[in-house]
Amino acid sequence: MAQRQLLRAINRASILNAIKAHGAIARTDIATFTGLSPATVTGLTAELIEDGLILEKTEGESRGGRRPILLALNPQGAAVVGIKLAEEHATLALTDINADILAKHTIQLGPRDPRSISLQLASETRDLLAEAAIKTNQLLGVGVGLSGIIDSQAGICRVSPHNDWHDVPFANLLADELGCIVTLDNNVNTLTLVEQLYGAGQQVRDFLVITTGRGVGMGIVTNGAIYRGSTGGAGEFGHIVIDPDGFACSCGNRGCLETFVSEPWLMRRAELNGLHVTSPDDLIALAYADHPIARDMLMAAGRALGQATANLVNLFNPSLIIISGEGVRAGDLMFGTMRATMARHMFAPLAEKLDIRIEPLSEDIWARGAASLVLSTIFSMPTLH
């Protein structure tokens, strides 16, 4: 019985993924893409229509007989809230099944203890739902992304340096307030997930997402699944050591990649080099105005990032690397240098079919990523435990 239920759930997920990948599609084409029998497709799509996850659209083009009815994801089939929890503020976004934002709030956070944060986020979530006329019982769930080491299965924040949290069961705290499922994960993993479900990572089995900005983070997808490590700490790319005799990093080590690339460290290096800049944007502007020290700083950051990323290619052999985050505004001085350095240090056969994409990042996508923690449950293939 359990195996039959599992097979049914797998087949439903296969159909949903086929529709998501191909857009409006006929039942016969779903059968072709999934390998399921026409009878199975007919039965399961009827269930999915009844559940509100898909809908029938305008008839497609005739292929010599009756014009087929096309099936598409129902945008109103799921309401999800994604929350990007930052140091001093949070962004909450209500999304549909396509992770498109229907309503959004950004709030300043009050007291930083977990209980106070959960109460504030629960109140703001209810306000967001009321604004969009969505009842709490219509909510599929809430996803939360934050920095740190996160045990996503247990919903526990093991370590969050920005919040000074240790072993905080934050998913349960927020779920108790809202009365719905709450999923918790590292914020770079949420960004990786939205790329996998809706972005450049669709249909890509092995890819990496690297973020630069306040810190340096990484999301890892291997064989179609996000890799989180044994304790949820995989992807701490910013803390690989570049120079053992370098600056003391906040993690307690010395010469970490973050001390070369992250914006707070670029500002510190600028100060040590006698540059009078008040923001990373000022430093970038100075570099593109041909100030030699500012230019050298961005290019040095690019070389450090390129060497470290080349090592990732040699370790993981990805087909795609997405570079994102606030730090991509440093432009070609940093990232052109990064590409050139990677070319020198990658094992050549692994570089032949590697696609590297630089993607600007908005605050919205972090919240969409957090929402994808919940949306992914609709499309993921279940397993028998």
Kindly give the confidence (pLDDT) of every residue in the chain, 385 residues in length, as a single tens digit, with 9 standing for 90 and above: 678 888 999 999 999 999 999 999 999 999 999 999 999 999 999 999 999 999 998 775 655 566 778 999 999 888 999 999 998 999 999 999 999 999 999 999 999 999 999 999 999 999 999 999 988 778 999 999 999 999 999 999 999 887 889 999 999 999 999 999 999 999 999 999 999 999 999 989 999 999 999 999 999 999 999 999 999 999 999 999 999 999 999 899 999 999 999 999 999 999 999 999 999 999 999 999 999 999 999 999 999 999 999 999 999 999 999 999 999 999 999 999 999 999 999 999 999 999 999 998 877 899 999 999 999 999 987 765 5
H helix or E strand, kind and range, residue 324: strand 320-324
- CATH assignment at residue 103: 3.30.420.40
Tell me if residue 236 falls in helix, strand or coil.
Answer: coil
* Residues 209, 351 share a domain: yes
- Residue 152 has phi, psi (to 5 degrees) of -70, -35
User: How many distinct helices (H) and strands (E) make up the chain?
Assistant: 13, 16
Task: For residue 143, count CB atoms less than 10 angstroms from its CB and return exposed for 0-12, middle for 13-18, buried for 19 or more.
Answer: buried
* Residues 251, 336 share a domain: yes
- The predicted structure's pLDDT at residue 6: 87
* Residues 259, 162 share a domain: no
Tokens describing residue 310: 């080349």
CB 310 within 8 A of CB 291: no
Among 25, 139, 167, 9, residue whose Cα is nearest residue 82: 139
* Residues 43, 9 share a domain: yes
Cα–Cα dist 311/296, whole Å: 23
Task: For residue 119, count CB atoms less than 10 angstroms from its CB and return exposed for 0-12, middle for 13-18, buried for 19 or more.
Answer: middle
The total domain count for the chain is 3
- The predicted structure's pLDDT at residue 67: 74
* Residues 104, 68 share a domain: no
- The predicted structure's pLDDT at residue 171: 98
Cβ-based neighbours of 248, under 8 Å, separated by 6 or more: 254
Cα–Cα dist 30/349, whole Å: 36
Tokens describing residue 246: 């370098």
| 251 in a structural domain | yes
| 58 in a structural domain | yes
CA end-to-end distance (rounded Å), the chain: 14
pTM of the full structure: 0.91
Cα–Cα dist 32/326, whole Å: 42
Tell me if residue 260 falls in helix, strand or coil.
Answer: helix
Among candidate residues 76, 94, 111, the one where a domain is terminated: 76
| 384 in a structural domain | no
| 218 in a structural domain | yes
* Residues 93, 64 share a domain: no
Tell me if residue 277 falls in helix, strand or coil.
Answer: coil
CA distances (Å), 281 to each of 86, 285, 295, 324, 361, in order?
A: 20, 6, 13, 17, 15
Cα–Cα dist 325/361, whole Å: 5
- The predicted structure's pLDDT at residue 77: 87
- CATH assignment at residue 66: 1.10.10.10
| 385 in a structural domain | no
* Residues 155, 72 share a domain: no
* Residues 206, 354 share a domain: yes
* Residues 6, 86 share a domain: no
* Residues 250, 141 share a domain: no
Q: Where are the beta strands (DSSP E) in 47-113?
A: 54-59, 69-73, 79-85, 89-95, 101-108
Tell me if residue 83 falls in helix, strand or coil.
Answer: strand
| 239 in a structural domain | yes
| 116 in a structural domain | yes
* Residues 99, 44 share a domain: no
Among candidate residues 76, 93, 108, the one where a domain is terminated: 76
H helix or E strand, kind and range, residue 22: helix 2-22
* Residues 233, 138 share a domain: no
Cα–Cα dist 197/101, whole Å: 15
Domain range for residue 122?
78-193+365-379
Q: Please give the full DSSP string across 159-210, using - where no structure is assigned.
A: EETTTTEEEE-HHHHHHHHHTS-EEEEEHHHHHHHHHHHHSTTTT-SSEEEE
